[in-house]
Structure 1
Amino acid sequence: MSAPSEPRAGRPEELVVALTKAGRTKIRYPAELVRDDGVRVTVRAPWAAPGVRDFGFVRFEPGDVFTEHYWRDRWFAVKEVRTGDGGLKGWYCDITRPAVLADGVLAVEDLDLDLWVSADGSCVLRLDEDEFEASGLAGQDPAAAGAAASALDELERLARSEGLAPLLA
C-alpha cells in the first residue's frame, strides 16, 4: 500500500489508470491524482474512450469529466460524471477487485457488474448481471464472485437510501 499523499501545489500529479477485464487490458488512460489517503485513491480524468457512448440512460462524450474513487479495501469504484461545464450527470459504479496503486499505475480489475445512479437519485440501475453470470467467475473464484455480488448490493442500498455522497465525502 502506498503512503497517503496529496498532489503538490501548482503541479498536479499524474498517474495511469489501467482497467483490466478477464485478464486483458480494457483501457489505460492518464488521470490527475486528486487525493490518496492510503485507503481511497481519487483521480480526475476526461472521458477517455473515443467518441460517444450512449447507454440509453446516459451519454458519455468528449468533454465529460470523471472524478473516480477507488478503494484498496472495497470491491467497487464510484465515478462521478460531469459535463464539461460542470453539470452532474450521475455516478457510474464499477464492481472491481480492490485497487492497487504501484509505480504510478492504478490497477483495477473490472468484474462486469455495474450500477448507474442518476444525478437526482431517481434512477438506480443494476447493469451487466448477464455478463457477470457468463464470465464464469462464480465457478472459478466463488469468494470473489460473492464479494462482487455483495458490493453491488451495498452500493444499490446506499444509492436508494442516503445516496452516494456520504461515501465520497
Structure 2
Amino acid sequence: MSRLFNPGEVIVRREILDGREWIVYPVQVAADDGVTLAAYLHRGTRLTFGGGDFRWGVHPWAAFDPHWQSDGVLQLQRAGDAYSVWARWSDGEFEGWYVNFQEPLRRTGRGFDTLDQELDLWIPGDGSPYRWKDVDEFEERERSGGFTAQEAAGVRAAAREVEALIASGDCWWEAWRDWTPPVEWTVPAPVALEGAEAGTAA
C-alpha cells in the first residue's frame, strides 16, 4: 500500500478517463487511517482539465470558471468503496451529504485516482428523504456505450449498498458531520497534469 497521508498535507485528486487525466485538482488531507481518506476541496481551488479527445468528451465543468465555486467540501472515501460521500455547506451551515458514485480510489505517490460515474445521491442534513440525481445522464451514458455492462452493474450495486446503509442507519459518514477546516488552511496552489497536454477552461 502507498504511504498514509498526513493531516494538512496537500495531495492531488485525479479522474482518469481513457488512461489519461480528465480533471485534476489539489485537496487537503483532514485524516487518513489507511481505510478512510478524508480530503477537503477548498472554495476557489483551481481545476485543471485534460486536453485531447476523450470518449465522454471534454469534462462538463471545463466550460465554466476553472475554480471550485461552491463552499468547500469534505470528500470522504473508503478503500474499496465505489462511491465517496461529500459533506456540503452553504455560508457555513451544514446542508447535507452528496454521495458521488465513482471508481474505488487508487492511491498514488501524490494522492489518489478515481473516475466519476455520473450517478449521485443527495441526503439532506435535516433528515428529510434522500433523492437521486443525474439518473437520466447515467442511463444515457450506459445506453450510448459510455459504460460497459459490467461498469453500469457496478454502479447500481454501489447504489444498493448505500441505500442499505441509509435504511439500517449505519451511515458511517455521520461521524464527520461537525468537522470544520482548520482556520489556518488556505487554498492550495494549482497542480499541473502529469501526462498529456493540459487544458484549462477560459
For this structure pair, what is the TM-score category when the shorter chain's length is used for normalisation?
Answer: 0.7 to 0.9
Residues 85 and 173 of structure 2 are in contact (CA less than 8 Å); yes or no, is this contact kept in structure 1?
no
- 2:2 equivalent in structure 1: 2
Residues 124 and 159 of structure 1 are in contact (CA less than 8 Å); yes or no, is this contact kept in structure 2?
no
1:110 matched to 2:124: no
1:120 matched to 2:116: no
Identify the structure with bigger relative contact order (alpha carbons < 8 Å, sequence gap 6+): 2
- Fraction of identical pairs, as percent: 27
Which residue of the other structure, out of 136, 155, 158, is the alignment partner of 1:148?
A: 155
Moved over 4 A (4+): 20-26, 137-140
Give the drift of 1:113.
0.8
Count matched residues: 153
Which residue of the other structure, out of 21, 28, 32, is the alignment partner of 2:28?
A: 32
Equivalent residue runs for 1:44-59 within 5 Å:
44-47=40-43
Cα 1:48–1:99, aligned 2, differ >3 Å: closer, same or farther?
A: farther
Which residue identity does 1:159 align to in structure 2? Answer: I
Give the drift of 1:25.
5.1
Output the aligned Cα RMSD. 2.9
Which residue identity does 2:130 align to in structure 1? Answer: V
Which residue identity does 2:140 align to in structure 1? Answer: A
Which residue of the other structure, out of 67, 71, 74, is the alignment partner of 1:67?
A: 74
Give the drift of 1:82.
1.8
Residues 115 and 127 of structure 1 are in contact (CA less than 8 Å); yes or no, is this contact kept in structure 2?
yes
TM-score normalised per structure 2: 0.64
TM-score normalised per structure 1: 0.74
Stretch of structure 1 that moved more, 106-115 or 150-159: 150-159
Give the drift of 1:138.
9.5
